[in-house]
Chain A
Amino acid sequence: MADGAAPTAAGPAARLSRDGLPLLLFALLAAAPFAGFGDGASLTLMARAMILALAATGLWLLVGGAGLISLGHAATLGCGAYAVAILDAHGITEGAIVFPVAILGAGLFAFLTGAVSLRTSGVHFIMITLAFGQMAFFTAASLAAYGGDDGYTLYGRTEFLGGRLLESRLVFHFVCLGALALVWALCRAVLASRFGRVLRATRENPLRVQAVGFSPYPYRLAAYTLAGMTGGLAGALLANATEFVSPAILAWQRSGDLLFAVILGGLGRLHGAMLGAFAFLLLEETLSHVTAHWRLLFGPLLVLAVIFLPGGLVGGLVGGRRKPGGPA
């Protein structure tokens, strides 16, 4: 069965083989700070990787789950990040307020833009998500009170019950890991549910789904909103990781990066998004050490990956290839 969340009445052994890779990844990330990767640079890189993976997992829900190609996912990260910045500017740094606001704010943005975008399909959907992404970008750039084009520097990370927990790199590492594992488990459960099955059916053939008596629209809108909420969470974490928020987070190129991470990992399995995000950052990190002009190598690698690795890393590793979904 090629699909990541395909529900099968399997025993623990089959379950382990299906979820083995992501669980191994989580275990490795949990052990990494104590196995020689506890220095600041490694923790910073891993935090970035986990946040990117978190955002990519949410995007996978759309691209791999529903067959909806969004080129505006970075906007939801921007909503989350700007929620942190705007609340910070008004003196609110309590995590119990900041994180829900970031998640719900991004969810609301996704719900409103999704309600319009999902009326279209195919190329038009790509373009309209791109347009909404650009609108969010220009809105952020015009927020003069919160830095405008130059961005906004946070004075400190989000607190919890007044405690400056996240200031510790190690705690932040585990917060990111926990969030990633939670979102992965949530998306996996969503895809395996009845809702997820209808969603995946709308990817394969919306017409038949309608014939069976479902309307694809509310399912797609719910998935779009959910993906937006995960984007909001990723954005709030990203703001805390860099302690800086700028419109660059919302640039359409960032949406392209996210989409690339998802495809690099592969649409065959949900954890492809995580693999892709890690591979993406590793590639970027390695190449940028080789040359300052690392994009000269990165661009062609992207092209080659698309042409020669249609199943992504998951397809290559597990052989769980499915034909790339047609235009959504």
Chain B
Amino acid sequence: MPIGLLLVQALNGLQLGILLFLVAAGLTLVFGVMHFINLAHGVQYMLGAYLGATLAAWTGSFWLGLVLALPAALLCGLVLEVAVFRHLYGRDHLSQVLATFGVILFLNEAVRTLWGSAPLPMAMPESLSGGIPLMPGLLYPTYRLAIIAAGLATALLLWFLVERTRLGMLVRAGASNAPMVSALGVDIGRLFTAVFGFGAMLAGFAGVLAGPIFSVEPGMGDNLLILAFVVIVIGGIGSIRGAFLAALLVGLLDTLGRSLLPELMRLFLAPSPARQAGAALASMLVYVVMAAILALRPAGLFPARGA
């Protein structure tokens, strides 16, 4: 495979990894602090994309759409937390899985009812619609590079928030011993709500970013959700740093697997079966890696401290 194509695929993988990280960060925070499995986190990514696409169409500007979609996504998250999730914190994982599964069914159908089943178009911002030459004759879309940059900036901001601020300190303390934090006079319920809303907003942010390059349609969050779960399990549940590294790993593995494995299989098989076997292997690759990591290191690659 030519080196240019490899570079493009690696950048695509990085960009998928960044989106995964934005979704997985909220998921891992919510699990780390509240021990709450939220299957409905992927729907929040979908909601973000729909809100972004609709608001961008209304205002006629991607940037206004983005700025308005973030508080809207935050609001959706808070409403869900107050209406449903709050009642599930003390319950077992089974109840949490099921109730959030119900939320998925509801919101996927609600989106289908409101916006229809057809994918919603979302325009890229003018200023980022061009390409940047990676090497002579090879353009890479500026928008995708912008996603990578935005994701890295968010990761940095998140690291600062969690490691260097008072709020982040409370979140970390809550993750290792919630009753103790509560006994020290912190309103743990409000802390939970804040973390939850913030996670929903991050997922919504990822949704808006993904809007122009993936199709905005009902159920778009489901597949990403499963990948995000793979990410937090590989990275170690509750660990932001683990989620970041695992997200990049999964993004690169998935994207490079899809382009490289069919080529690789051609060394052993005829072209047509090689393409099929390669594609099948590629779609299974991340799950195989996850199963292997869980079997060898059940706590993940970078387990959260104190958890």
Which A residues form the contact surface with B (CB < 8 A)?
A: 63, 69, 71, 116-117, 119-120, 122-124, 126-128, 130-132, 134-135, 138-139, 141-142, 144, 252-253, 256, 259-260, 263, 293-296, 298-303, 306-307, 310, 324-328
- Asked if A324 and B95 sit within 8 Å, CB to CB, the answer is yes
Q: How far does the alpha carbon of A164 sit from the alpha carbon of B108 in the complex, in Å?
A: 42
- Asked if A306 and B102 sit within 8 Å, CB to CB, the answer is yes
Which B residues form the contact surface with A (CB < 8 A)?
A: 31, 37, 39, 84, 87-88, 91-95, 97-99, 101-110, 112-113, 222, 226, 229-230, 233, 237, 276-277, 279-280, 283-284, 287-288, 290-291, 294-295, 298
Q: How far does the alpha carbon of A279 sit from the alpha carbon of B112 in the complex, in Å?
A: 25
**Nearest 4 pairs of A and B residues by beta carbon:** A299-B106, A302-B102, A142-B280, A299-B105
Contact flag A138-B283 (CB < 8 Å), given A122-B93, A123-B93: yes
- Asked if A131 and B291 sit within 8 Å, CB to CB, the answer is yes
CB B240 to nearest CB in A, in angstroms, measures 17
- Asked if B280 and A71 sit within 8 Å, CB to CB, the answer is no
Q: How far does the alpha carbon of A295 sit from the alpha carbon of B98 in the complex, in Å?
A: 14
- Asked if B99 and A307 sit within 8 Å, CB to CB, the answer is yes
- Asked if B107 and A327 sit within 8 Å, CB to CB, the answer is no
- Asked if A263 and B98 sit within 8 Å, CB to CB, the answer is yes
Sampled A-B contacts (28; CB under 8 Å): A120-B298, A124-B237, A126-B93, A126-B97, A127-B229, A130-B229, A135-B291, A138-B283, A142-B276, A142-B280, A253-B222, A259-B97, A260-B101, A263-B95, A293-B113, A296-B110, A299-B106, A299-B109, A300-B102, A303-B102, A303-B103, A303-B106, A306-B95, A306-B102, A310-B91, A324-B92, A324-B94, A325-B92
Known: A120-B298, A128-B233, A298-B105. 9 other contacts (CB 8 A): A127-B230, A127-B290, A131-B230, A131-B287, A134-B226, A135-B291, A139-B284, A293-B109, A306-B102
CB contact between A303 and one of B99, B277, B295 (< 8 Å): that residue: B99
Contact flag A302-B283 (CB < 8 Å), given A63-B94, A142-B276: no
Q: How far does the alpha carbon of A124 sit from the alpha carbon of B92 in the complex, in Å?
A: 14
Closest residue of A by beta carbon distance from B87: A307
CB B148 to nearest CB in A, in angstroms, measures 26
Q: How far does the alpha carbon of A299 sit from the alpha carbon of B218 in the complex, in Å?
A: 15
Interfacial chain A residues near B237, Cβ < 8 Å: 123-124
Q: How far does the alpha carbon of A301 sit from the alpha carbon of B102 in the complex, in Å?
A: 8
Interfacial chain A residues near B283, Cβ < 8 Å: 138, 141-142
- Asked if B98 and A300 sit within 8 Å, CB to CB, the answer is no
Interfacial chain A residues near B284, Cβ < 8 Å: 134-135, 138-139
Q: How far does the alpha carbon of A128 sit from the alpha carbon of B145 in the complex, in Å?
A: 33
- Asked if A124 and B294 sit within 8 Å, CB to CB, the answer is yes
CB B81 to nearest CB in A, in angstroms, measures 13
Interfacial chain A residues near B102, Cβ < 8 Å: 260, 298-303, 306
The residue among A295, A298, A326 with the most chain B CB atoms within 10 A of its own CB is: A295
Interfacial chain A residues near B230, Cβ < 8 Å: 127, 131
Q: How far does the alpha carbon of A256 sit from the alpha carbon of B37 in the complex, in Å?
A: 14
CB A267 to nearest CB in B, in angstroms, measures 9
Q: How far does the alpha carbon of A301 sit from the alpha carbon of B87 in the complex, in Å?
A: 15
- Asked if B291 and A132 sit within 8 Å, CB to CB, the answer is yes
- Asked if B291 and A306 sit within 8 Å, CB to CB, the answer is no
Interfacial chain A residues near B298, Cβ < 8 Å: 119-120, 124
Interfacial chain B residues near A260, Cβ < 8 Å: 98, 101-102
- Asked if B106 and A300 sit within 8 Å, CB to CB, the answer is yes
Q: How far does the alpha carbon of A14 sit from the alpha carbon of B206 in the complex, in Å?
A: 58
Q: How far does the alpha carbon of A326 sit from the alpha carbon of B291 in the complex, in Å?
A: 24
Q: How far does the alpha carbon of A139 sit from the alpha carbon of B287 in the complex, in Å?
A: 12
Contact flag A296-B97 (CB < 8 Å), given A124-B298, A130-B226: no
